[in-house]
Amino acid sequence: FYTPLCEKLGIRYPIIQGGMAWVATGELAGAVSKAGGLGVIGAGRAPAEEIAEEIDKVRSMTENPFAVNLMLMSEHIDELIDLVVSKEVPIVTTGAGNPGKYMERLQSAGIKVVPVVSSAALARRLVRFDITAVIAEGNEAGGHIGEMGTIALVPQIADSVDIPVIAAGGIADGRGLLAAFHLGAQAVQMGTRFVCAAECQAAGEYKNAIIDARDRDAVVTGRSTGHPVRTIKNKLTRKLHKLEENGKEDELEREAQGALRRAVIEGDIEQGSVMAGQISGMIEREISSEKIIEEIIAEAEEILASDCREFREGKK
């Protein structure tokens, strides 16, 4: 499964950990990179000095490549751009916006840029900046989501650019990895699965909310405000749905801010925003990042091996 993108990024396995705000600290990113995937520090809305500490943690754990995910809505974005340049971060992923205006600075610093794109049009616009790959994130994902599902989005992005595509949204096992390859992707990004990694620092209650979730429990709120967010249903989502029904969008935005921190750091999974994707129903236990990667690769190899056996025996 060593794809050309693995070569470009310097990773052993085509598995990228989602750069989730508050959740993806240096401990998680370092463990994923050490295990041969691409660990990603989630800058979220944090100031540069906090992210500098997370970068130092990763560097104390492994020499392997890692990334910093820049959420472009952050009020600290300019100092974070300065930070990734000055700390010589090898790879930057971006989300929640168009990184166009930062590309010249990042590129001239030799940083590989991998943006999440919300449409084929944005993907095509960004290709002229010589980006390394794009992440096509389907709305099965947790957190802020776009309009399209992974199975429809990934092949259309793959058809519209000739650079590697990374599939994200609803992927957490070997079946999802192989499906992503068949859709035209060269790697997968997983967020929810890595929240339940042993090295992830999120509160135990947050991890248990994902482990206890069933297939339909990751619901969308905020569609009416134009900022849909997928979280595990709880008292907060019921309150937000009520505000939406009564057309109180502005109150909704206020409620949503800070609610992510309440869930991740304080473990308040009733009044907090438990951002997680639709694959939560398939996550049954907390295991190490190394084991997550090992199991996915082993399962994908077993599926291919059994397919080959059945082809040889004429059963397929």
Ligand X SMILES: O=C(O)COc1ccc(-c2c[nH]c(CNC(=O)Nc3ncc(Sc4ccccn4)s3)n2)cc1
Could you list the residues that contact ligand X (CB under 6 A)?
21, 44, 71, 73, 95-98, 116-118, 122, 137, 143-144, 146, 260, 275
Give whichever of 174 and 222 is closer to ligand X, judged by the CB atom.
222
Residues 6+ apart with CB under 8 A from 6: 12, 13, 14, 186, 187
Contact between 292 and 13 under an 8 Å Cβ cutoff? The reply is no
Alpha helices in 43-96 (DSSP H): 48-61, 77-86
**Residue 252 Cβ vs ligand X, minimum distance, rounded to whole Å:** 13
Say if residue 75 is exposed, middle or buried (CB neighbours under 10 Å; 0-12, 13-18, 19+). Answer: exposed
Residue (3 or 225) nearer to ligand X, CB: 225
Q: How near is the Cβ of 137 to ligand X at its closest, in Å?
A: 5
185, 136 Cβ separation under 8 angstroms: yes
Residue number with the smallest Cβ distance to ligand X? 143
CB of 228 or CB of 267, closer to ligand X: 228
| Residue 212: CB minimum distance to ligand X, A | 21
Q: Which is nearer to ligand X, 21 or 55 (CB)?
A: 21
First to last CA, the chain: 23
Report the C-alpha dihedral over residues 241, 247, 250, 255, rounded to 10 degrees: -20
Quick one: how many helices (H) and strands (E) in the chain? 14, 11
Report in angstroms how near the CB of residue 282 gets to ligand X at its nearest: 20
The residue (of 64 and 74) whose beta carbon lies closer to ligand X is 74
Q: Which two tokens stand for residue 9?
A: 């990024």
Q: Please, which residue, 15 or 114, has the CB nearer to ligand X? A: 114
Q: What minimum distance in Å lies between the beta carbon of 183 and ligand X?
A: 18
3-state class of 15 per DSSP? Answer: strand
> What's the min distance (Å) between Cβ of 64 and ligand X?
24
